[in-house]
Chains A and B, each alone.
Chain A
Amino acid sequence: MNDMANKWIGARTIRPDGADKVTGRAQYSADTTMPGMIWGKVLRSPHAHARIRGIDTSRAEALPGVKAVVTHKDIVEFPLDKSVMLGIQDMRWMCRNVMAREKALFHGHPIAAVAAISEEVAAAACALIEVDYEVLPHVIEIEDAIRPDAPILHEWNRFEGKPSNIAGTMVLKAGDIEKGFAEADIVVERSFTTRPVHQGHIEPQSCTVSYAADGRVTIWSSSQGQFMVRAMTSLLTGIPQSDIRAIPAEIGGGFGAKTIIYLEPVAVMLSRKSGRPVKMVMTREEVQRATGPAPGSLMTVKMGAKKDGTLVAAQGTFYLQAGALPGSPLRGPVGCSFAAYAIPNVLSVGYDVVSNRSKVAAYRAPGAPHGAFAAETVLDEIAEALGIDPLDLRLRNSAKAGDKAIYGPNFGAVTFKETVEAIKHHPHYTAPLDKNPRPGFKRGRGVASGFWYNAGGESSVQVNITEDGNVLVTTGHPDVGGSRASIANVVAELLGVDHARVNVMIGDTQTIGFSNLTGGSRVTFASAMVATASTEKVIGQLKERAARIWKIEADAVKWEDGMALPAGDNAGKFPPLSLKDLAAKANEMGGPIGTQVQLNTTGADPGFATHCVDVEVDVELGIVRVLRYTAAQDVGRALHPGYVEGQIQGGVVQGIGWALSEEYLYDAKGRVDNAGFLDYRMPVCSDVPMIDPIMIEIPNPKHPQGVRGVGEAPIVPPLAAIANAVYDALGRRFYALPMSPPRVTERLAEG
């Protein structure tokens, strides 16, 4: 929307943190050093599954240069029989993920950690730790983990009364599923698999921690939430939150992976024991082996429709990998797969399956891309069987305002149709496609849609007017992709001052009020809402100061273009007072100008996206290339269009990697076989085309600027859109990801 009334909202301004990031000055987590600092290293399990009978650290401790050694004994234990939740994380599992207790549960599971005068000495000391392992049979894949004779990871876990690797379930229902299928003219049922994929943030997890003699702790680390770092570290070390200052470094990518911690509590205990600041930096191999990823999945989706395309029933069964400890994102596939559609009869069931892999972590719209791959492929088949355009099938069945969503609430605005219409009328969708461009190559076009909940939650924003009349805004959210730029635009707009006069900073845990994670597509929604409330309060203060100076009522003052003006009967009676004028008089007229607002925000309506993709398949080599990609999404209001487009483009390319090349490979002993960027193949620049984002701006009525979350939805449709395009090219459906060259050639060889 090109709203002429706005000068800064919707403008492509230079981000406040920009110059630091293009000159190398920005301080990321691993860029911090401290006087007297020593280095921590983690000893990791070489086995996929082993009982730990004993750990002897004496030889490591005796090595010259070693300052401290910690094991699970130094981390607070949360007993298995009582759940302690921090957000969606259960501390019973977090304490065992950070440091193995009874058993090593995956290749790379931390067993102990050492702090020493150098990384080399720390690594040498790790090699001297003697661990008495009883190696146990392991299980990696879902289909093996749910067999009755599977090795059991957690003997205490019961499913249907028996020890099991199924650690949890989620069920959503509407209507009568049997009746629904009985009414259908066509029913399509398919089974799907997807492989785990890593978030692939380029900055490895790291931290620098100082435990001072007074028991106060300072943590420099990059995360998607400094308050999460403080709370989890507090729970896992027993140190009160008031004594832990978590300073958010610039974050070099997270995508969900940095919504939990791995190193911080270990580094705190190493620092406490050694009396020295401790720095720990994961290698890429450690990142790939022991952090993230997103789960792999095993899914069956069955959908029924009338001849005219009306969907009457949908059933989904979604098994997701949890990794070694419970907690896969079941609400992703279970809640999102059918959410965009008005389907009267739905049964959606998820199973949380543990196996000897690293514990999964959130990854952009957690779980939703999996379910969309299955459901949107089945929809494509139904459309084809009924002879209906796949976009028309979606338009016919779109949910509408007031409908009860499968996951509970009644929908407010539903802007799904607008995304479908945007693709349907886009020159990409209407352009002719030469399906046989040259011998040995086939082309195809596919579409798919996606849904994500979006989120609100807690945010704090402080707005201060500096003594010289400029503006400093402090938020509590790490900025993963331009949120400071968006907030600067909002505050500059409301105050009527030049964008360059507004600086936006990210506070640490002890300097700004509680602010929840940067994740779930919530930060721009929530922090713009709170920044608005905060700025409006400041404008109230400014008007009050002007009123005092003019000796008139505060409500007889208006704020316009960065100045207080006398209004109503007093209009024109006094010369305007600028922000600088009022700042200069602040102290004589009541003191400093500024305020902090802390809110638990609500009103984040869901996000919808529809994508269209053209692919070309090299039939001999099995290589699928994306030729053209168009992604339509309702973004509510783009506060900074450059970074909104960037979210869409980045999410799409992550989806392309998921669909075509990314997967974890394990050897027969359950060890990760491709723990590096060479063999874990993320898209590089030459793999992808330009990604054309269509930002539909239908303002969210529940937000002061109309913002809707943006970041998650773009990764939901690509898996199915690309699979549907490959089908269009080859006439063969792919029900398993990735559609990598070996898989494609194998499938083509099946004849």
Chain B
Amino acid sequence: MSKLHVSTSINGEPVEFLCTAAESMLDVLRGPLGLTGTKEGCGTGDCGACSITVDGRLVCACLMLAVEAEGHEIGTIEGMAQGDRLHPLQQKFLEMAALQCGICTPGVLMASRALLEKNPDPTEEEVRFGLAGNLCRCTGYDKIVRAVLETAAEMRSAA
């Protein structure tokens, strides 16, 4: 199968890659682009470990064809911190032990950021539904939900 040329933007930087028509965005991120922070838990859009943003919208990278990135802005976990300055969600997750094994963490953080961008003052229930597409088997979600609520409160008071 001959390869297709794709021009896109990843974490604010211009990126070009070649892919087949069958390859998913997840395959390309983790493979040729070496962005392995986006994880594969199921490949069927059920676990959310591969959550990325496309023009700011939360997407499972395993359900998106790589060619669909053409002309769009992709955001991955690697772009969440600014240099060595962690995003407030990343910092809060560390302070509140909101991760254990950490495999779901990149996806949970991407989904949490997308949630707070849309809704800076979510209720517990809104956080729980906002993260319902991200499976975590270690934490029981308690500390994740608390970390998102607390980050939201801090970001609001800082704004």
* A and B interact physically: yes
User: Of B42, B94, B105, B137, which contacts A676 at CB under 8 A?
Assistant: B42
Chain A residues near B78: list those with CB within 8 A.
23-24
In the complex the two chains form, is A202's CB within 8 Å of B47's CB?
A: yes
The B57-84 residues at the A interface (CB cut-off 8 A) are 76-78, 80-81
In the complex the two chains form, is B97's CB within 8 Å of A23's CB?
A: no
Cβ-based interface call for A253 (8 A): yes
**A251-B101, A653-B140, A676-B44 are contacts. A686–B36 as well, Cβ < 8 Å?**
no
Main secondary structure of the interface of B (DSSP, over half): loop
In the complex the two chains form, is A19's CB within 8 Å of B44's CB?
A: no
Give the complex CA separation of A24 and B34 in angstroms.
11
User: Of B77, B97, B135, which contacts A645 at CB under 8 A?
Assistant: B97
**A645-B143, A691-B142 are contacts. A14–B95 as well, Cβ < 8 Å?**
yes
Give the complex CA separation of A19 and B90 in angstroms.
8
In the complex the two chains form, is B142's CB within 8 Å of A24's CB?
A: no
Chain A residues near B152: list those with CB within 8 A.
none
Cβ-based interface call for A67 (8 A): no
Cβ-based interface call for A496 (8 A): no
Cβ-based interface call for B144 (8 A): yes
In the complex the two chains form, is B77's CB within 8 Å of A23's CB?
A: yes
Cβ proximity bits B91-107 to A, threshold 8 Å, 1 near / 0 not: 00111110111111110
User: Of B94, B106, B144, which contacts A24 at CB under 8 A?
Assistant: B106
In the complex the two chains form, is B94's CB within 8 Å of A23's CB?
A: no
Cβ proximity bits B119-135 to A, threshold 8 Å, 1 near / 0 not: 00000110111011111
In the complex the two chains form, is A21's CB within 8 Å of B99's CB?
A: yes
In the complex the two chains form, is B137's CB within 8 Å of A654's CB?
A: yes
The A471-493 residues at the B interface (CB cut-off 8 A) are 480-482
Cβ-based interface call for B114 (8 A): no
User: Of A19, A682, A685, which contacts B86 at CB under 8 A?
Assistant: A19
Cβ-based interface call for A53 (8 A): no
In the complex the two chains form, is A200's CB within 8 Å of B43's CB?
A: no
Chain B residues near A27: list those with CB within 8 A.
36
User: Of A23, A31, A646, which contacts B138 at CB under 8 A?
Assistant: A646
Closest-CB distance, A219 to chain B (whole angstroms): 18
In the complex the two chains form, is A19's CB within 8 Å of B35's CB?
A: no
In the complex the two chains form, is B76's CB within 8 Å of A482's CB?
A: no
In the complex the two chains form, is A202's CB within 8 Å of B41's CB?
A: yes
Give the complex CA separation of A640 and B125 in angstroms.
28
Cβ-based interface call for A304 (8 A): no
Cβ-based interface call for A426 (8 A): no
**A22-B105, A283-B43, A649-B142 are contacts. A31–B90 as well, Cβ < 8 Å?**
no
In the complex the two chains form, is B101's CB within 8 Å of A284's CB?
A: no
The B24-71 residues at the A interface (CB cut-off 8 A) are 30, 35-44, 46-47, 49
The A47-84 residues at the B interface (CB cut-off 8 A) are none
Cβ proximity bits A237-276 to B, threshold 8 Å, 1 near / 0 not: 0000000000000111111000000000000000000000
Number of interface residues of A (CB under 8 A): 57
A251: nearest chain-B partner, CB-CB: B101
The A200-245 residues at the B interface (CB cut-off 8 A) are 200-204
Cβ-based interface call for A650 (8 A): yes
Cβ-based interface call for A749 (8 A): no
Chain A residues near B39: list those with CB within 8 A.
28, 202-203, 252
In the complex the two chains form, is A284's CB within 8 Å of B41's CB?
A: yes
In the complex the two chains form, is B104's CB within 8 Å of A650's CB?
A: no
Most chain B beta carbons < 10 A, residue from A202, A283, A691: A202
In the complex the two chains form, is B140's CB within 8 Å of A652's CB?
A: yes
B99: nearest chain-A partner, CB-CB: A21
Closest-CB distance, B68 to chain A (whole angstroms): 20
Cβ-based interface call for B19 (8 A): no
In the complex the two chains form, is A685's CB within 8 Å of B134's CB?
A: yes
Chain B residues near A5: list those with CB within 8 A.
none
In the complex the two chains form, is A203's CB within 8 Å of B135's CB?
A: no
Chain B residues near A684: list those with CB within 8 A.
131-135
B81: nearest chain-A partner, CB-CB: A23
B90: nearest chain-A partner, CB-CB: A22
Give the complex CA separation of A640 and B100 in angstroms.
12
The A685-724 residues at the B interface (CB cut-off 8 A) are 685-688, 690-691
Closest-CB distance, B111 to chain A (whole angstroms): 10
Chain B residues near A650: list those with CB within 8 A.
100, 137-140
Most chain B beta carbons < 10 A, residue from A15, A18, A682: A18
Cβ-based interface call for B136 (8 A): yes
Chain A residues near B144: list those with CB within 8 A.
685
In the complex the two chains form, is A481's CB within 8 Å of B100's CB?
A: yes
Give the complex CA separation of A645 and B97 in angstroms.
9
Give the complex CA separation of A359 and B36 in angstroms.
31
Closest-CB distance, A119 to chain B (whole angstroms): 9
Give the complex CA separation of A203 and B101 in angstroms.
10
Most chain A beta carbons < 10 A, residue from B101, B144, B146: B101
Closest-CB distance, A695 to chain B (whole angstroms): 13
Cβ-based interface call for A30 (8 A): yes
Cβ-based interface call for A658 (8 A): no
Chain B residues near A678: list those with CB within 8 A.
44, 46
B86: nearest chain-A partner, CB-CB: A22
Closest-CB distance, B135 to chain A (whole angstroms): 6
User: Of B35, B38, B44, B81, which contacts A284 at CB under 8 A?
Assistant: B44
A288: nearest chain-B partner, CB-CB: B42
Cβ proximity bits A638-657 to B, threshold 8 Å, 1 near / 0 not: 00101101100111111000
User: Of A12, A24, A202, A643, which contacts B137 at CB under 8 A?
Assistant: A202
Cβ-based interface call for B141 (8 A): yes
Give the complex CA separation of A646 and B129 in angstroms.
21
Cβ-based interface call for B10 (8 A): no
Cβ-based interface call for A26 (8 A): yes
Cβ-based interface call for A677 (8 A): yes
Cβ-based interface call for A25 (8 A): yes
Give the complex CA separation of A284 and B103 in angstroms.
14
Give the complex CA separation of A23 and B35 in angstroms.
11
Cβ proximity bits A580-602 to B, threshold 8 Å, 1 near / 0 not: 00000000000000000000000
Closest-CB distance, A198 to chain B (whole angstroms): 10
Chain B residues near A687: list those with CB within 8 A.
132
**A23-B81, A30-B40, A642-B96 are contacts. A676–B46 as well, Cβ < 8 Å?**
yes
B76: nearest chain-A partner, CB-CB: A24
**A284-B44, A676-B46, A685-B134 are contacts. A22–B109 as well, Cβ < 8 Å?**
yes
User: Of B80, B128, B137, which contacts A253 at CB under 8 A?
Assistant: B137
In the complex the two chains form, is B103's CB within 8 Å of A685's CB?
A: no
User: Of B40, B94, B104, B124, which contacts A19 at CB under 8 A?
Assistant: B94
In the complex the two chains form, is B138's CB within 8 Å of A253's CB?
A: yes
In the complex the two chains form, is A677's CB within 8 Å of B100's CB?
A: no
Chain A residues near B101: list those with CB within 8 A.
201-203, 250-254, 480-481
Closest-CB distance, B82 to chain A (whole angstroms): 11
Taking Cβ atoms with an 8 Å cutoff, the residues of B that contact A are: 30, 35-44, 46-47, 49, 76-78, 80-81, 86, 90, 93-97, 99-106, 109, 124-125, 127-129, 131-146
Could you list 27 A-B pairs, sorted by A, with CB under 8 Å? A12-B95, A12-B96, A15-B94, A22-B86, A24-B36, A24-B78, A200-B135, A201-B101, A202-B135, A203-B101, A204-B41, A250-B103, A252-B41, A252-B103, A255-B137, A284-B46, A480-B100, A480-B138, A481-B138, A646-B100, A649-B142, A650-B139, A676-B42, A676-B44, A682-B135, A688-B140, A690-B145
Given A24-B76, A30-B40; 12 other pairs, CB 8 A cutoff = A26-B102, A203-B101, A203-B103, A251-B101, A252-B101, A481-B101, A642-B96, A645-B143, A649-B141, A677-B41, A677-B135, A691-B140
Report, nearest first, the 7 A-B pairs whose CB atoms are least far apart: A24-B37, A252-B103, A642-B97, A653-B140, A21-B102, A649-B140, A677-B46
